[in-house]
Amino acid sequence: MRFSLVVITILLCCSFAAQAKMYKWVDDEGQMHFGDKIPPEYQVKEHDELNSSGVVTQHRRAAKTAEEKAEDYRLERERKKVALELKKKQQRDRVLLDTYTTERDLVVARDSRLEAIDSQINLAKAIINDSNNKLESLEKKITQIKASNREVPPDLYKKIDSENQQIKVQSEVKGNHEKRRNKVDKQFGGYVERFKVLKEEQKARRERLAKERGY
């Protein structure tokens, strides 16, 4: 019985020794150290975990500094931004190909949009022109009243203020429509160029597949 206990004790010790972990680390002076425990100040720094044969079983990197973490966060945000832009670009390409069959379809759609905007611009111009005519008429009336030494009715000045306000508002409306027109024209110009590229890529893919299949 005592012999059995001795054997078991020896086997357990050998087992514990085989499972024991060793560590390797470098101190602040560049000196390499080995031990079954790492000093607390080096636990967050780069070190290796070794088995009983001295073979590295795990390499642990040093804990990142606040600056490194901030840089990682910035890079990750930049990566997500690039990925999102790529996804949006791919979605726009799909919509472009699904919506339009030929380049002519794009031109027709562009002209239709521009025509609708032009009608809004022309309406604003007409209102401005009408207000200018009314102003001219009101100013003549005021001049005539003053020439006859009569008092100008206050409502005439109110009408002039109203027409001037109308001109101001419609001028802003016209300017906004003109900006939108330029934006649409430029946007569709980009669509046309991108559509050409996508169609060429489709053609190249079809030709490559036909060649691979021996057609």
Residues 176, 161: one domain?
Answer: yes
Number of domains in the chain: 3
Residues 72, 151: one domain?
Answer: no
138 φ, ψ (degrees, to nearest 5): -65, -40
Predicted local confidence at residue 2, as pLDDT: 43
Give the predicted TM-score (pTM) of the model: 0.61
Predicted local confidence at residue 6, as pLDDT: 41
In sequence order, the 6+-apart residues with CB closer than 8 A to the CB of 72 are 64
User: How many whole angstroms separate alpha carbon 122 and alpha carbon 188?
Assistant: 22
Residues 36, 92: one domain?
Answer: no
Residues 106, 181: one domain?
Answer: yes
Is residue 82 in a domain? Answer: yes
**CA proximity to 50, closest of 83, 82, 22, 71:** 22
Is residue 4 in a domain? Answer: no
Predicted local confidence at residue 215, as pLDDT: 62
Residues 109, 206: one domain?
Answer: yes
Predicted local confidence at residue 20, as pLDDT: 65
Is residue 14 in a domain? Answer: no
Residues 130, 199: one domain?
Answer: yes
Task: Supply the Cα-derived Rg of the chain in whole angstroms.
Answer: 41
Predicted local confidence at residue 15, as pLDDT: 43
Residues 134, 181: one domain?
Answer: yes
Is residue 8 in a domain? Answer: no
**CA proximity to 170, closest of 115, 131, 212:** 131
Residues 130, 190: one domain?
Answer: yes
Domain range for 74 is 65-99
Tell me the pLDDT of the chain (215 aa) as tens digits.
444 434 444 443 444 444 567 888 888 788 888 878 888 777 777 888 888 777 888 887 877 778 878 888 999 999 999 999 999 999 999 999 999 999 999 999 999 999 999 999 999 999 999 999 999 999 999 999 999 999 999 999 999 999 999 999 999 999 999 999 999 999 999 999 999 999 999 999 998 988 888 76
Residues 112, 158: one domain?
Answer: yes
